[in-house]
A and B are shown apart, each in its own frame.
Chain A
Amino acid sequence: MTSTVKSPETHPLTWRIRNNEAVLDIKAYEALEGYAGLRKALKEMSPADITQVVKDSNLKGRGGAGFPAGVKWSLVPMGPDAPKQKYLVCNADEMEPGTFKDRLLMETLPHQLIEAMILVGYALQVSKAYIFLRGEYVLAAERLNKALADARAAGYLGENILGTGWGMELYVHTGAGRYICGEETALINSLEGRRANPRAKPPFPQIAGLWGKPTVVNNVETLSNVPQIILRGAEWYKNLSQGKSKDAGTKLYGMSGRTKRTGVWELPLGTSAREILEEHAGGMKDGYKLKCWLPGGASTDFLMPEHLDLAMDYETIGKAGSRMGTGLMMVVDDKHNLLSVVRNLEEFFARESCGWCTPCRDGLPWTVKLLRAIEKGEGQSGDIETLEQMTRLLGPGKTFCAHAPGAMEPLQSALKYFRNEFESGIKQV
């Protein structure tokens, strides 16, 4: 990879990360503009100003759905008649297969996330905030808790933050497994100490979320952008994507699979998939050819080598029939049969279904059963048509949440691009 000098102007999320990826303690963080965004906001800005700046910056949710963060916040009741209890929750339940960006942010820059959450907490006037962290991220939990204790001691948390008379508390809440906890309303149920079944929407969490109170749930990467947006302004943030995309800012892109290099890179939003693969990941490993790729997690549609020149942004990838998702690409090489790849993906979704609604609970195991049979060469005539029917019956609007529709994305695209591999698994009578 070409070595670039990282500065806050060009790499607002990762410029502080050291080469060895060591954690920055509070002193090191403060020495590098740490908590400057929070200080500026508390001193010079009203809560409404902050929401407006973030709205103007066009920061979109980095957890996969891409909803504009400022718009989400603007639905929260504000002012003297708003409920006293309001909550901010960070979705740190990073469990989308292929995704490993939030881990990096939390393990190296816990204070960046904490600063962002206090800042957003002030913008929404919340009483408490939680980081919903997946249970397996043991190191992140340790570092976040240490950083929280240091932030508390430094007066960034508690009753009277930096002498403003306003205060909030922030806690780490660790989970105990289950992918579905990443779904916003399932996450809220889990945080309340319940089974992680999703809730019906509306009401949206901004109106009635945690314990029935207004609640905003944002992803780690989304939140981590906020302090620099406040410091440097909406215009600066919009220009970060360098005209590569209508979308603003930088994005943590990444690569896994059989490429020469793997990892996470902060790049202008809208960087092409080809640049990520060829320049940053160094291309495929010798002896392996690119067969297809997932743009951003297990619940996104496969794209083909001819799609590599597309900009990795929400709209462009959407138009190509997939979703940018989390933005961490995964390549499938030519040594793999797509049937076994899709079977593995559907096994994951079937196991992780919460069981709440019938299409998902019954449809996903049925899908796995069909795929296993076809993989063994024991598929019956009509099985491919049944799988196609599944992609409709488990698709958007047919289920309680986005879990099953997400599961259908890799399946429907595999059927579209690699139907011959499926057909070869059907028993000839």
Chain B
Amino acid sequence: MSTANSNRSKASIIVSDRSEGFSLSVEIRDEILHEMSHYDDARAATIEALKIVQKHHGWVPDGACGAIGEILGIPGSDIEGVATFYNLIFRRPVGKYVIKVCDSIGCFLNGYEDVKAGLIQKLNIQPGQTTPDGRFTLLPICCLGACDKAPVLMINDDTHFNVDPSRLDALLEQYK
């Protein structure tokens, strides 16, 4: 699977205010309520709620934690504590496409360093940074469970196997 698709739905833009007022769209609220119905305790929907906000907004601003807490009936600080723990929840704006490069042992033994060096050179950013045009963010990630097809990376929801460091241009071209 290597079709380029962004998770971001343009239909639901959230109005974000840096200080307090962060309101969740009706669509996001409904999706969170749906997830809550799967659990015997509302708190369990915390991670799904954060992922839903991120799917629509790209990342999770401070205000969103309080807004999610209101729906789930728990303090926003609890949501914040969870949001900062998990590496797939972004607390800063990220690029349109997030490249997650596996740096665990399977890929390490199979040319991960060339893939990483190639991406750093082509994108002209370091891991943790976003290109100035907002197109790509580069992040390390732990074992993606495909060591038989190493090296492996993900771009948003797409997993790319047997990544060839000499063909990175063609790979990146799929994501505009």
A: residues with CB less than 8 A from B are: 85, 94-100, 102-103, 128, 134-139, 169, 171, 173-179, 190-196, 211, 254-258, 262-264, 294, 298, 328, 330, 332-333, 336, 341, 344-345, 347-348, 351-352, 354
Contacts and interface: CB of A to CB of B under 8 A. Distances in A.
A257 B40 contact: no
A344 B104 contact: yes
Among A134, A136, A178, the one with the most B-chain Cβ atoms within 10 Å of its Cβ is A136
B86 A97 contact: no
Contacts, number: 140
Contacts of B150: 256
Nearest to A255: B148
Nearest to A193: B46
A309 to B, nearest CB: 23
Given A136-B145, A192-B41, A352-B142, 8 more contacts: A97-B106, A98-B147, A99-B143, A169-B38, A176-B86, A254-B148, A263-B148, A345-B105
Interface string B88-112: 1100000000001001111011100
B40 A330 contact: no
Contacts of B157: 138
A211 B105 contact: no
The 7 closest A-B pairs by CB, nearest first: A193-B46, A262-B148, A256-B147, A176-B86, A177-B87, A97-B143, A177-B88
Contacts of A177: 86-89, 141-142
Contacts of B142: 95, 97, 177, 179, 348, 351-352
B44 A176 contact: no
Given A192-B44, A351-B142, A176 B87 contact: yes
A94 B103 CA distance: 16
B13 interface: no
B28 interface: no
A4 B110 CA distance: 29
A74 B94 CA distance: 48
B47 interface: yes
A135 B41 CA distance: 21
B146 interface: yes
B30 interface: no
A395 B82 CA distance: 28
A41 B88 CA distance: 40
6 contacts: A95-B142, A171-B38, A192-B43, A344-B104, A348-B105, A348-B142
B109 A330 contact: yes
B67 interface: no
